[in-house]
Structure 1
Amino acid sequence: MAISDASGSDAARERTYRWQDPATTAAAVPGRSGREFLEAIGDGTLPRPPILDTLGIDVVEVGDGRVVFALTPAEWHYNPIGSVHGGVMATLADTALGCAVHSRLPAGTGYTSLEVKINFTRAVTLASGRLVCEGKVLTLGRRTATSEARILDQQDRLVAHASTTCLVFPV
């Protein structure tokens, strides 16, 4: 597949990357609180989930009910009309939404998204610079949790905001 750059060149581009076995990371879920688990991914004690390497998402900060991820837009994130694909933005938001909830869960507890709602407020391109996505827990019950996320561009402009409801369960 060829992608044209600003000079009009249709030279093919190539991207390669590596990831580690996701089963290693998944096996560590039951023995750690959600926050401990996420911190271990962030500091490299546990392998990063492959989706983070696939899209180039970085763990910036993990707190109690609050997480921050970052992504720098690249050509390979683009859709056919010349901006970052909404699915990339939705994945960044979904990562922060779910991990914010996970950061509040005790060991032996898991979650899954029941629904995700995202609003895109401006186009994202290479010129947007590094995107920062902050996720925060809104409610945490025995069976469900809700969280919200905001994605800001390098100029601190809101490019998207999202919310989720998660199902909480024993693992």
Structure 2
Amino acid sequence: MTQTQEAARTRTFGWTDPAEHASRLGRLSGLEILQSMSAGDFPPPPIMQLIDAAGMRVEEGSVTLELDPQEFHYNPLGTVHGGVLSTLLDTAAACSVHSTLPAGVGYTSMDLNVKFLRPATISSGRLTCTGTVLQRGRRTALAEARITDAAGRMVAHATSSCMIFEIPAA
């Protein structure tokens, strides 16, 4: 092995069946589902396991996610990839909307407008992403999310519009 070559790093992870999440949508409110995930009583969705999210806090209208930056989050420049940060922002914003919905009502992101303010790396420490509902109507909602590093500096922020809809009975 030359100096420029190094042994490949590997990562293994598992996830739960996403159908398990869908089965709860008609029986529990969004807040109940998210609180159950936060408490560890219900597994997080596969995307949270993919990015290795460190934690979740939930209250009605606001969801906070945590992520410890790792090498596998990096882009070729050696910083956390914008797609990982965008995933955190989208998840926190959309889940904040979900936390306001009754059983049988779903949502989907319609757009995400992201502004990156500073790079994040392992040395940034734990990233905290908080999403908050700004306005919710019958058909749409507007939410924002902000990521801060361990020193409290803002790394990125976003606004998101979500469509709200009835989930057909199974």
Shift of the 59–104 alpha-carbon distance from structure 1 to 2, 3 Å rule, reads farther
Residue 140 of structure 1 corresponds to 136
Distance 2:110 2:50 in 1: 24
Tell me whether 81-90 or 37-46 shows the greater mean CA deviation: 37-46
Matching of residue 102 in structure 1 with residue 102 in structure 2: no
Q: Indicate whether 1:13 and 2:9 are aligned.
A: yes
- Structure 2 CA distance, aligned partners of 1:51 and 1:81? 23
Q: Is the 8 A contact 1:22 1:47 kept in 2?
A: no
CA displacement 1:41-91 (0-9 Å, x = unmatched): 112222210110110113431001011000000000000111110000000
The answer as to 2:38 corresponding to 1:45 is no
Number of the residue aligned with 2:149: 153
User: Corresponding residue for 2:22?
Assistant: 26
Gaps of 5+ in 2: none
| SS of corresponding position for 1:95 | helix
CA shift, 1:9, in A, is 6.6
Query: What is the TM-score of this pair, normalised by structure 2?
Result: 0.93
| Paired residue secondary structure (1:146) | strand
2 CA distance for matches of 1:8 and 1:61? Answer: 42
TM-score by length of 1: 0.93
Equivalenced residue count is 165
Q: Helix, strand or coil for the counterpart of 1:117?
A: strand
Q: Give the partner amino acid of 1:12.
A: A
Instruction: Say whether 1:118 aligns with 2:121.
Output: no
Q: What aligned pairs does 1:38-77 form with structure 2 within 5 A after superposition?
A: 38-77=34-73
Structure 1: give runs of 5+ residues left out of the alignment: 1-6
Matched residues in 1 for 2:145 and 2:12: separation?
30
Look up the equivalent residue of 1:88 and give its one-letter code: V
Using the alignment, how far apart are the partners of 1:27 and 1:8 within structure 2? 49
Confirm or deny that 1:78 pairs with 2:74. yes
Once superposed, what is the RMSD of the aligned Cα atoms? Answer: 1.3
Percent identity over the alignment is 48
Q: Residue 4 of structure 1 aligns with which residue?
A: none
Tell me how far apart the structure 1 counterparts of residues 89 and 69 of structure 2 sit (CA, whole Å).
14
Shift of 1:10: 2.0
1:127/1:8 CA distance change after superposition, 3 Å: farther
Contact 1:24/1:47, CA 8 A, preserved across alignment: no
